[in-house]
Amino acid sequence: MLLTITGAVSLAIWLYLLLARGAFWRMRPDVCGGAPRSPAPSVTAVVPARNEADVVGRAMASLAAQQYAGEFHMILVDDASQDGTAGIAQQAAPELRVIAARPLPPGWTGKMWAVAEGVREATSDYLLLTDADIVHPPDHLAALVARAQEGESDLVSYMVRLPCRSLAEQALIPAFVFFFFLLYPPAWIRDPRRRTAGAAGGCILIRRAALERIGGIARIGGELIDDCALARAVKHSGGRVWLGLSDTAASLRRYRTFGEIGNMISRTAYTQLGYSPLVLAGTVAGLAVTYLAPPLLTLAAQRGAAAGMGALAWLLMSATYLPAVRYYRRHWFWAPLLPLIALFYLAATLHSAVAHWRGRGGMWKGRAQSVT
């Protein structure tokens, strides 16, 4: 009886995710061929950087190559780098303004303090908050502004294409985007009638007036999941938020091993759960029923209603995940392996909680940044 109930719950979950979760799984890259209205608004790109020597040159060169009709400035905030990041960035984009972040004050994460330092120096109509590992195609800034103007959006963000070459990346990166959109369905984010809000921190265009309305970067100064916190603050203040998937803007940051990706997931997983042991326990149980139960019921029960519902849930899971696999141009056989991939994410979530309890939460670039 328990197996049958578990199979029914798993199947119901996947029917809901397939049919009623904003079609998050479609993974359709956005194509915006429009141009900003004339005169084009002014934009300043603010790039926080800490020890990014291996990627910052290409990223800054891509910003310098933007084909934008309006006024465009670039500010890189060097957050105590020790690898020559500032010099490499300046060489790649001579017009770039480089400033050094002041010492990190209490209650701020390193990245948000660096962003605040850059925003303080900018006076443009819009701010492009982008990371030091993101390469933008030449028309990307114009497309971002056009997208914002088209929907009167206060914040426009793209999930950029992440590298997917190593075995670890092939196994885990498509699922990272899949899980992100499951939590933050773009269709729901774009809908002003829904409270769901989210953004991808590597590429955010925000209207200065909207940022000032929520109290500036200080509003999210202590947030580890700063991108979604920013989108939530903007939307809950009455602004419009737009999130899409890009097929042209890309991250250069590589995750060559399972450990590196595990650390990336662990950095914010427990934060997503509100640092609550009770929510953690519920999440573990939910992941087990959603992702692990279908194959276990299929293989262990062998026959009967439980096995049938488990097999159908596994099939729906694979079909729902397949568009993410195809977006990353991977072989279809990765789709039915989602239960194993989810198990890895579950382990990383548990690791995140343990790291937080040990005072090592939010570890990034040598900093433990848990803020509660």
Q: How do residues 45-96 score in pLDDT, each as one tens digit?
A: 999 999 999 999 999 999 999 999 999 999 999 999 999 999 999 999 999 9
Q: How do residues 8-24 score in pLDDT, each as one tens digit?
A: 999 999 999 999 999 99
Kindly tell me if the per-residue pLDDT of 368 is higher than 70.
no
Round to whole Å and give the CA distance between 370 and 270: 10
**Under CATH, which architecture does the 29-251 domain have?**
Alpha-Beta Complex (3.90)
DSSP-derived secondary structure letter, 290: I
CA-closest candidate to residue 260, choices 175, 177, 342, 169: 169
> Whose structure tokens read 């276990």?
296
Q: Where are the domains of the chain?
A: 2-23+258-357, 29-251
pLDDT at 372: 44
> Whose structure tokens read 């915006």?
32
Element (H, E) at 310: helix 305-327
Beta bridge partners of 45: 74, 128
Going by pLDDT thresholds of 50, 70 and 90, the confidence category of residue 371 is very low
Beta bridge partners of 130: 203
Round to whole Å and give the CA distance between 329 and 174: 10
**In 10 A of CB 92, how many CB atoms?**
17
> Whose structure tokens read 């196994």?
171
Q: How do residues 108-147 score in pLDDT, each as one tens digit?
A: 999 999 999 999 999 999 999 999 999 999 999 999 999 9
Element (H, E) at 338: helix 338-357
Q: How do residues 212-231 score in pLDDT, each as one tens digit?
A: 999 999 999 999 899 999 99
| Pairing assessment for the beta strands 155-161 and 97-100 based on DSSP bridges | unpaired
Strands laid side by side in the 134-135 sheet:
97-100, 72-78, 43-49, 126-130, 203-207, 155-161, 241-251, 134-135
